[in-house]
Each structure stands twice: as C-alpha cells, then as structure tokens.
C-alpha cells in the first residue's frame, strides 16, 4: 500500500526540515544590529530628534548573571523604561545620556522604550 510510502516520505521531509533548521539556526545574529555583550565597550543607543533609534531597534543579548550595561542618548526630555526589570530613568530637558548598569537576573526578552512616546528603542535578551 502506498500509504506506507507516503508516511516514509513525510518522515523524511520532517527530518530534513528539522536538520535544515537546526543546522541553519547557528547564525541568528547576522541580520540586525544584534550584539552579545561582554566586558568590553558599553553599547550606546542613539535616539534621533524624531524619536526613533538610529539604525533601527538594537538587540543586546546577555547571559544570566552578567551585568546589563548600556547607554541611551536622547536629544529631548523623556523617560527611558526597561520593562520586566521595571527600571525607569529620566532624561532631563534639553536631552542627555542615561546609563543602565544592573545584574541580569531575569531570563527572557525585554523591551526598552521611550515611555512618553511609546517607541521601542532596544530589545534585550537574557539567556540562561
């Protein structure tokens, strides 16, 4: 009966797809401005006068136990909010730079927003 053949075909296709995804899943940091951070230079997110992150929404990846370190440079008064960790910092009138430096304790994917404008400027990942 050709149903058996069909099943074997399906199994082979699924196995091939799994293999393709697993083998192809290695370079997931190639497209966006994604960075796995270490002890080096502190990344800086620059926000334009239009209120958008220059170069698009940045991605920063940390391991649990690392320190989350980044700066946000904004040319106007705003509140910067790191969701999940619930850390908000005020940028004074006329603009300025705020610095985040805290332990990566919570695993997951988190947004950093210009709270007043509801604009996401950074996606932050904390992996186990």
Partner 1 sequence: MTFIPFAHALAARQDLPVPAWLFAWAASIVLIVSFFALSAAWREPKFEDEHARPLGERLSAALLGLPAQVLCGAVGIFLLGVAVYAGLEGTEAPDRNFALTFLFVTCWLGFPFFSAIFGDLFRPFNPWRAVGRAVGGGFQAIAGQRPAHLAYPRWLGRWPAAIGLIAVVWLEVVYGSGGVVLDPEAGAVAVLVYSAYTLAMMAVFGVGEWCEKGEVFSVYFGMFGRLGIFGSRDGRLRRRRPFSAATTWATIPGSAAVVVASIATTSFDGGQEGAFKDALESVFNWFTDAGMHPTAALRLSDTIFIALCFAGVGLIYLLGVRGMRTVPGAPPFAKLRVGFAHTLIPIALAYLLAHYFSYFFFQEQAQFTYLLSDPLGTGTTDLFGTASAGVDYRALSANAIWYVQVSALIVGHVIGLMLAHDRALVYWPDYRKATASQYWMLAVMVAFTCFGLYLLSVANG
Q: Which stretch binds partner 1 (CB under 8 A): 36-44, 65-73, 94-102, 108-116?
A: 108-116
Q: Which stretch binds partner 1 (CB under 8 A): 40-48, 69-77, 96-104, 111-119?
A: 111-119
- Residue 35 touches partner 1, criterion: CB under 8 A: no
Element (H, E) at 121: strand 119-127
- Apex CA 79: angle with CA 50 and CA 94, to 5°? 60
The total of other beta-carbon atoms located within 10 Å of residue 92's CB is 11
- Residue 125 touches partner 1, criterion: CB under 8 A: yes
Q: Which stretch binds partner 1 (CB under 8 A): 21-29, 37-45, 71-79, 88-96?
A: 21-29
**Sheet of 67-74: strands edge to edge?**
44-46, 67-74, 96-103
91 and 100 Cβ atoms separated by less than 8 Å: no
Residue 112's nearest CA partner among 69, 75, 50, 49 is 69
Among 35, 43, 54, 83, binds partner 1 (CB under 8 A): 83
Among 21, 30, 41, 50, binds partner 1 (CB under 8 A): 21
Residue 94's nearest CA partner among 78, 114, 116 is 78
Among 39, 49, 94, 128, binds partner 1 (CB under 8 A): 128
What residue ranges bind partner 1 (CB under 8 A)? 1-4, 6-7, 10-11, 14-15, 17-18, 21-22, 25-26, 28, 57, 83-84, 86, 105-111, 118-120, 125, 127-128
């Amino acid at each position: 009966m050709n149903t058996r053949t069909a099943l074997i075909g399906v199994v082979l296709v699924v196995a091939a797809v799994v293999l393709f995804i697993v083998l192809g899943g290695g370079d997931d940091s190639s497209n966006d401005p994604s960075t796995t951070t270490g002890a080096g230079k502190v990344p800086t997110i620059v926000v334009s006068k239009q209120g958008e992150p220059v170069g698009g929404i940045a991605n920063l990846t940390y391991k649990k136990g690392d320190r989350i370190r980044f700066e946000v440079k904004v040319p106007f008064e705003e509140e910067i909010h790191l969701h999940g960790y619930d850390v908000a910092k005020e940028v004074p009138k006329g603009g300025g730079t705020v610095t985040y430096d805290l332990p990566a304790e919570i695993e997951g994917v988190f947004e950093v927003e210009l709270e007043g404008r509801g604009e996401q400027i950074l996606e932050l990942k904390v992996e186990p």
